């Protein structure tokens, strides 16, 4: 297993377009998280799945954002009608046990979104 | 709402010197994490601290946790250029089932030869 994979690595889109990102977690991890990081800031929590169930959503996740994890494996994050303020690095993380092991939470390389 | 503060935000230090980064948080927590981030890259896990008094060391970095003071420190010993990066602490509140990490704003560390 090569860790948490995210695709694409970079995405440039025009304002108003829809975009979708994919995250493949470590295969045995049942928990999957999405975070957003803007320049010069720490990551901010967006949402979290345990298996296929979305158990928590941040107030940051407006109605233009939707996340799914249909079979409890990979996850997608869709942003509809993108705005310039959506430009950020979108990070996916996974864990097996609420981050209680020495590995904690493993982050992917992220998808950098630029809205022009 | 859990708040996490790091200081300093920026740190420029000479090679060979020692320094400490501080992470304060506002509510009871049972889990604290330190991450390293290089420019344009993702987060690399450094330490997982799960109990009061926990101390972990890896190379020139040592992290500790005082849950009573709601304080964690990341100590750098005899800094080398390769340690230049941004360091984040992240805290999970101690609510049962809580899965959300709250990150500090990060400490940008620059090691000067």
Residue A20's pLDDT is 98
Residue with tokens 């996490």: B4
Query: Biggest alpha carbon distance in chain B?
Result: 46
Give the model's confidence band at A38: pLDDT under 50 very low, under 70 low, under 90 confident, else very high: very high
Give phi and psi for A84, each to the nearest 5.
Answer: -60, -30
pLDDT tens per residue across span A45-70: 999 999 999 998 998 888 999 999 99
Give A15 to chain B, closest Cα distance, Å: 23
pLDDT tens per residue across span B75-111: 999 999 999 999 999 998 776 667 889 999 999 999 9
pLDDT tens per residue across span B8-48: 999 999 999 999 999 999 988 878 999 999 998 889 999 99
Across chain A, what does the average pLDDT equal?
93
Average pLDDT over residues A87-113: 89
Residue A1's pLDDT is 54
Residues of A in contact with B51 (CB under 8 A): none
- Smallest CA–CA distance from A57 into chain B, residue: B100
Nearest to A95 by CA among B90, B58, B5, B76: B90
Residues of A with CB under 8 A from a CB of B: 31, 33, 35, 40-45, 48, 50, 55-56, 58, 91, 98-110, 112
Q: Check A42 against B105: CB less than 8 A apart.
A: yes
Q: Which of A42, A101, A109 sits opposite B88 (nearest CB)?
A: A42
Nearest to B65 by CA among B89, B49, B87: B49
């Amino acid at each position: 297993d090569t860790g948490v994979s995210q695709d694409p690595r970079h995405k440039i889109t025009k304002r108003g377009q829809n975009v979708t990102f994919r995250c493949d977690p470590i295969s045995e991890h049942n928990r999957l998280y999405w975070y957003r990081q803007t320049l010069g800031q720490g990551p901010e929590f967006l949402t979290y799945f345990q298996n296929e169930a979305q158990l928590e959503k941040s107030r940051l996740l407006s109605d233009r954002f939707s996340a799914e994890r249909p079979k409890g494996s990979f996850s997608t994050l869709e942003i509809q009608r993108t705005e310039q303020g959506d430009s950020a690095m979108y990070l996916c993380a996974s864990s097996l046990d609420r981050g209680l092991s020495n590995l904690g939470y493993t982050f992917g390389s992220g998808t950098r979104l630029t809205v022009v | 709402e859990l708040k996490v503060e790091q200081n300093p935000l920026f740190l420029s230090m000479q090679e060979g010197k020692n320094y400490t980064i501080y992470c304060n948080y506002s509510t009871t927590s049972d889990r604290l994490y330190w991450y390293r981030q290089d420019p344009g890259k993702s987060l690399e896990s450094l330490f997982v601290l799960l109990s009061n008094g926990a101390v972990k060391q890896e190379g020139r970095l040592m992290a500790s946790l005082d849950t009573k003071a709601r304080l964690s420190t990341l100590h750098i010993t005899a800094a080398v250029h390769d340690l230049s990066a941004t360091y984040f602490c992240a805290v999970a509140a101690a609510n049962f089932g809580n899965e959300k990490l709250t990150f500090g704003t990060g400490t940008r560390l620059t090691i000067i030869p």
